[in-house]
Each structure stands twice: as structure tokens, then as C-alpha cells.
Amino acid sequence: MPVNLQAPDGSRLFPVSGVRLGVTAAQVRKPERKDLLVMELAPGTRVAGVFTRNRYCAAPVRVAREHLAGGSIRALVVNTGVANAGTGEQGLADAREVCAALSQRLGCGAGQVLPFSTGVIMEPLPVARILAGLPACCSALAEGQWLDAALAIMTTDTLPKAASRRVEIDGRTVTVTGISKGAGMIRPDMATMLGFVATDAAVSQELLDRLVAEVADASFNCISVDGDTSTNDSFVIMATGRAGGAPIDDAASPAAAALREALTVVAAQLAQAIVRDGEGATKFIAIEVAGGRCRDECRAAAYAIAHSPLVKTAFFASDPNLGRILAAIGNAGIADLDAGGVRLWLGEVLVAEQGGRAASYREEDGARVMAEAEIAVRVDLGRGQARATVWTCDLSYDYVKINADYRS
């Protein structure tokens, strides 16, 4: 069961003017489930994205990068069930064929369509089924279908993931709404799995390119379920400009700061939902590492904790075997780390300092915190002012079961 996560209320997902969505059950992999999404963007919409750094990146990732570099984007097409990764030249041809087919229906160029896929790796994309599903998607296009869109991109997710908010920027009401999917193969190396966020704010392309990286770094790049970086990771921001006004172009302006915050809040909510719905998860764990010389070493320590199977299984068992956390910190690659200067807390309980167990620590206190559904781990490296936070989950029996049965 997801950790303190509920399905989003569709009535609270604000439509974004200039973005229309349509879904259908194309039977890409499983019958009778929504598995194909089309997002149509109004002319003039600016789009920016960041993608996986996995060298086996999927065919749609490669095609999406090419099309983004070409300029104006008018549509996105997303299928679940088959990742179209590890599919060679045929996979590229298949992704391009889908783009061409959708472009003909929408009256735009094939290079103006971004393709995305998620699901089983190294299986051929069922192009005929996707092409057959495109007419239904296009017939269903409407601005208010964000919840259906979130459902249509799920794989092993147990709940759809969507978030929305409205803010005032320069006297205008600006809407930000987004969806994401992901539950396993979650370890960001730019952004994790699939995330799509739209806004009606007017933004220059240069600033949007900067914002997508900054927002990903503060949200999707702060989560981990199992330490595996997907072949298909993609995060895209679309700005239609329909809220009006001159495009925001100064990254240091109050307007840019307000938009950055709104985008980050939505993206962080989507990212944390992925962890809360992690495959087999029973605990949501926030790991804050402070006192580093730079953010990178704080992140290294946080991820060392988040990726340790020994730490994650101890959290699942509610077992305060907390020496495992110290061992993970020591293995984070901080060569000159002074173990004697590190302090570790579990919630508000001081666990370790001066190289060992804190004199005040009692195991019953650690066990009490470990039994909670949401746990805060705090580390002070004692060597600087930098800090970083990573969100993760425990590793349970069900994680193994889900992935053992994934293709059945």
C-alpha cells in the first residue's frame, strides 16, 4: 500500500489553457486499461526537457531530444506497457512512425511531436496498436483530462500521480498542473521516470531551459526507490503563455522566482508521490545531510544511505540496526571524512556522535521511530555549511515479488 498517499482528486487538477489531453485503451500490453496518451499544445507553446543519462537510453528519448532541438513542439504522445528501449534501429523507426502518424492527425510536422514510452525493456513497440489508438485519443482531446492522463501512463504504480496549483505572478493568475509515473527502477541521474508539467505562464525559451533543469534538480533528482536509473527517464515542462503578459525572461526577477517556486512545489509533490508509491514500500524516509563542504558530498552521503539494501531492509523490519547507516555514510566516497565529527539522528533521537553510539541513545527510542510510517534521518558531517535532502523508501518482500512477476 502507498505510504500516506491517496489518489488525486480530479476536481482539484486545474486545466491549463493551451493544453488538451486525450487517452484510450490501445492494448499496448494489457487489455482494457488506459495506456495511450496524447497531449496537444497550442501554437507558440514553449517546451523544455531533461532526460536520462543511461547509455542504453530508449528510442523515444533519442527522438524526443532530436525534436526538441528542432524548435516548435505541438504534441506529446506517451504509451505505457512497452519501453521501446534496447530495440536498436527498429525502435527508432517505430518511435518516428508514431510521431509521423500523430502529426498527420493534428496538422503539424512529425518533428513537432515528442514521443515517450515506459514499460518492459527490450520488447518491440506494438506500433500497429498505437496507431490504431491515436484516433480515439485525438477525438477525446480536452483540457480537463489530467487525472485520466495520469492513469494512462502508469506501470507498476498503484495510484495515479498528479498535482496542481495556482499562483499570482505580476497580477495575473498562473496555473501549474502536472503528472508523473514511477514506482520501481527509480534512481535519478537528471530526473526519474516520466514527469510532465504544464503552465499557462509566458516564459522565454532560454529561461524555460534553465528552469527545467533547476526544477528537476530540486525534485526528481532527490528521490530513489531502488538505485536503478531507467532507460526512459524524462521530465518535460510546457509553457503555453495563455496567462498573458510579456514572457518572463529574467532569471533573477521576482516573477521568475515565483514561477520557479510554483513549478518546484508541483514537481516535488509528484516526485515524493513516486517514493510513497514505491514498489512494495511501507515506509517513507526523508534523509537530510548537512554540514558538508558542498552539496555534492551531502548528496553522496544521502544516496549512500538511500541505496543501501541493508539500511532499507532494516527500515522495513523496524529494526534499529543503525550501525548500517554509519557504514553507508563511511562508504559514500568522502575520502577525508572525519568519522569522529559525524552526528546522526533518527527523528529527534541522537543516535551517534564522536565516532560511535551517543551516550544518551536508547534502543527503545530508535525502535519507536523505526516503527513509524514516515521517518526522518538527519546527518551532520561536521565539515561545512552545505546540505541536501533525498527522499526514499524501505525495501520489502513485496518489492521482490513485484519485480519477479513483472512480465507475467
Per-residue pLDDT of the chain (408 residues; tens, 9 = 90+): 689 999 999 999 999 999 999 999 999 998 889 999 999 999 999 999 999 888 888 999 999 999 999 989 999 999 999 999 999 999 999 999 999 999 999 999 999 999 999 988 999 999 999 999 999 999 999 999 999 999 999 988 889 999 999 999 999 999 999 999 976 555 554 334 799 999 999 999 999 999 999 999 999 989 887 666 678 889 999 999 999 999 999 999 999 999 999 999 999 999 999 999 888 899 999 999 999 999 999 999 999 999 999 999 999 999 999 999 999 999 999 999 999 999 999 999 999 999 999 999 999 999 999 999 999 999 999 999 999 999 999 999 988 887 777 665
Which sequence positions are flagged as catalytic? 192
Q: Assign domain 10-276 to its CATH superfamily.
A: L-amino peptidase D-ALA esterase/amidase (3.60.70.12)
Q: How do the domains of the chain map onto residue ranges?
A: 10-276, 284-404
Confidence at residue 303, expressed as pLDDT on a 0 to 100 scale: 93
Alpha carbons within 13 angstroms on the beta-carbon side of residue 137 total 32
Q: 390: closest CA among 368, 375, 405, 373?
A: 375
In whole angstroms, give the CA distance from residue 70 to residue 326: 48
Alpha-carbon dihedral 101, 33, 146, 121, rounded to 10 degrees: -60
User: What pLDDT is recorded for position 189?
Assistant: 44
The whole-angstrom separation of Cα 334 and Cα 336 is: 6
Q: In whole angstroms, what is the distance from residue 196 CA to residue 38 CA?
A: 12
Buried b (16+ CB within 10 A) or exposed e, 178-208: bbbbbbbbbbbebbbbbbbbbbbbbbbeebb
Class of domain 284-404: alpha beta
Answer whether 185's CB lies under 8 Å from 193's CB: yes
Q: Using CA atoms, how far apart are residues 334 and 195, in angstroms rounded to an integer?
A: 32
The whole-angstrom separation of Cα 225 and Cα 35 is 23
Q: How confident is the model at residue 191, as a pLDDT?
A: 36
DSSP code of residue 55: T
Say which amino acid occupies 401: K
**Selection from 160, 126, 146 nearest residue 2 by Cα:** 160
Full-model pTM: 0.93
What pLDDT shows up at residue 310? 94
Cite the beta strand spans of 121-233 per DSSP E.
161-169, 172-181, 194-199, 223-224
pLDDT of res. 402 = 77
Cβ atoms of 227 and 310 closer than 8 Å: no
Distance, CA of 74 to CA of 62 (rounded, Å): 18
Q: Which residue type occupies 328?
A: A
One fold for both 10-276 and 284-404? no
Counting Cα atoms < 13 Å in the Cβ hemisphere of 127 gives 17
Backbone angles phi, psi at 73, to 5 degrees: -115, 135
Q: Give the angle subtended at the CA of 66 by the CAs of 64 and 69, to the nearest 5°.
A: 105
pLDDT score for 167: 98
Per-residue pLDDT at 232: 85
| Backbone Cα Rg of the chain | 22
Spatial CB neighbours of 301, under 8 Å, sequence gap ≥ 6? 289, 292, 328, 329, 332, 334, 379, 381
Q: H-type helices in 107-234, by residue range?
A: 127-139, 146-152, 205-217
3-state secondary structure of 312: helix
